[in-house]
Amino acid sequence: MIPNILSIAGSDPSGGAGIQADIKAISANGGYAMAAITALTAQNTQGVTGVQMIDPGFVAAQIAALRADIRVDAVKIGMLGTAPIIDAVRTSLAGLTVPIVLDPVMVAKSGDRLLRAEAVAALRAMLPLASVITPNLPEAADLLAMPEAETPEAMATQARALLALGAGAVLLKGGHLPGRDCPDLLAHDAGLTWLPGPRHDTRKTHGTGCTLSSALATFLGHGLPLIEAARSAKAYVARAIAMADALTVGQGHGPTHHFHAFFAGTHA
C-alpha cells in the first residue's frame, strides 16, 4: 500500500525547500504527498525577501478537509512561523495516531528567520505531539536556550535534553559541526544511535532539513522501524546532495537533487 503523507509547511517558490521539497522527497520515496500550506515566501537560492503567513483558521481548514476525506499515514511538520499557527496545527492533529515528524524550522539557510522569536515557547510546547523532531544544531540551541553544540559530546547532551521535553525521539543533525564528517544523532527510548556520514564539499544544500524530515516521515509511513527509517532518510539525502551538481538552479545555496534516482545519467 502506498502511504499518504501530509506535509504542513511553508511554500518555497524556488522549489528547493518547504512544501515543494517535501512533495518531491515524499514522492521519490514511494509516498503519496499531500500539503497544507502555512506560509507563502518570496525566496530564491540567495535568500528570503518576503513572508506572508496564512491565516491560522485557514491552515486548520486545510488540515480538516484532508482528514475528513483521506487516510493520513504520517505527517511532516515544517515551517509554522507564529504561535497562533502552531496552536492551530496542534489542535487540528488531535487524535491522529500516526507518526508525526516535526522539523523545527526556525532560520533559513540564508540566515533569514522563519519562526518569530515570540513563538519559540509555543513550538517548545508542541514537542510532545511529535514522534520525532529533527532539529539542526542552531535550532536545538534555540529550543533549549543553550549555546550551540560544537562537539559530539555536546550533541549527546542536547539530544537528551530535547528528548526530556517530551518528543518521542530526536534526530539531531550534526551538519554544523566542524570537520570532514557529518554525524547525526538519534536519541530514542532505547538510548543513543549515531548515524555517521561524510561531509560533501558543496553549497547545494538548500532544503536539506525539509528533505530529510519528509523522507523520514515517508519511511515511517511505510512502516519501517525508527532506526531503519532514520538511516534510510539520511542515505537518501546524502545521495541527493552528492548528485546535486546535475542541477543548475540559482547562484546561492542550490537545491539537492530529489529525483536523482529517476533521471537518466544521474544515478548515485
pLDDT at res. 203: 83
134/209 Cα distance (integer angstroms):
8
Strands in 68-131 per DSSP E: 74-77, 100-102
Tell me: the pLDDT tens digits for 81-121? 999 999 999 999 999 999 999 999 886 655 566 687 788 89
The residue segments making up the domain with residue 73 are 4-129+204-246
In a domain, 15, yes or no: yes
In a domain, 191, yes or no: no
pLDDT at res. 108: 61
In a domain, 164, yes or no: no
DSSP 40: E
pLDDT at 47 over 60: yes
In a domain, 224, yes or no: yes
Can you say how many angstroms the Cα of residue 127 is from the centroid of all Cα atoms in its chain?
14
Kind of pairing between the strands at 32-44 and 47-53 = antiparallel
pTM score above 0.85: yes
* Whether 184 contacts 195, CB under 8 Å: yes
The predicted model gives 32-55 an average pLDDT of: 95
Handedness of CA 201, 202, 208, 211 (dihedral sign): negative
Active-site residue set: 173, 205, 207-210
In a domain, 198, yes or no: no
How many domains would you assign to the chain?
1
The predicted model gives 7-27 an average pLDDT of: 97
In a domain, 59, yes or no: yes
Grid coordinates of 144: 533549549
C-alpha distances in Å from residue 32, one per residue of 6, 9, 153, 181, 238: 8, 16, 38, 33, 22
Choice between 267 and 50, residue whose per-residue pLDDT is larger: 50
In a domain, 195, yes or no: no
In a domain, 236, yes or no: yes
CATH number, domain at 83?
A: 3.40.1190.20
Neighbours of 97 (CB within 10 A): 5
